[in-house]
Amino acid sequence: MDISVNDLLVYVAFFAIVIAVIAVVVWVFKSMLSGTGSAAGGLLRGRERRLGIQETASIDGRRRLILIRRDNVSHLIMTGGPVDVVIETGIEDPHLPNQPATSQTADEPVAAGSDAGS
């Protein structure tokens, strides 16, 4: 079987084009499923995250203040002591419009640690 240089170049170019088309199809399919990239929308969009840590501050070597967000409402807790303490609940997000001011300061700290009651 005698293959000329022209035939070899045609085969290599065809192989490169096929690989490029497969890569583009995979990229488009992946971006459609994940909702990212230039493809509009996403078929398998992830859930919106409801829980997250907004900010932390160290009080001393052991204790930390943590501002936790859940469903656009924040809660301030202190961890690291003998028990974890809820300092304030229901802190509204100041960046969201038209929210009633229902922020409450806990009258009594609520123990949330595993050491409480043990």
Residue 12 belongs to what domain range? 1-46
Residues 64 and 107 in one domain: yes
Sheet-wide strand order for 104-111: 51-58, 64-70, 73-79, 85-92, 104-111
Q: Indicate the number of domains in the chain.
A: 2
Residues 39 and 55 in one domain: no
pLDDT at 107: 52
Residues 35 and 55 in one domain: no
In a domain? residue 118: no
Rounded to two decimals, the pTM is: 0.44
pLDDT at 117: 45
What is the distance between the terminal CA atoms of the chain, rounded to a whole angstrom?
Answer: 85
pLDDT 10s digit of each residue in the chain, 118 long? 677 888 899 999 999 999 999 999 999 988 887 665 444 455 555 567 788 888 999 998 899 999 998 888 889 999 988 888 999 888 876 666 654 544 444 555 555 554 444 4
Label residue 75 exposed, middle or buried (CB < 10 Å: 0-12, 13-18, 19+). middle
In a domain? residue 117: no
Residues 55 and 106 in one domain: yes
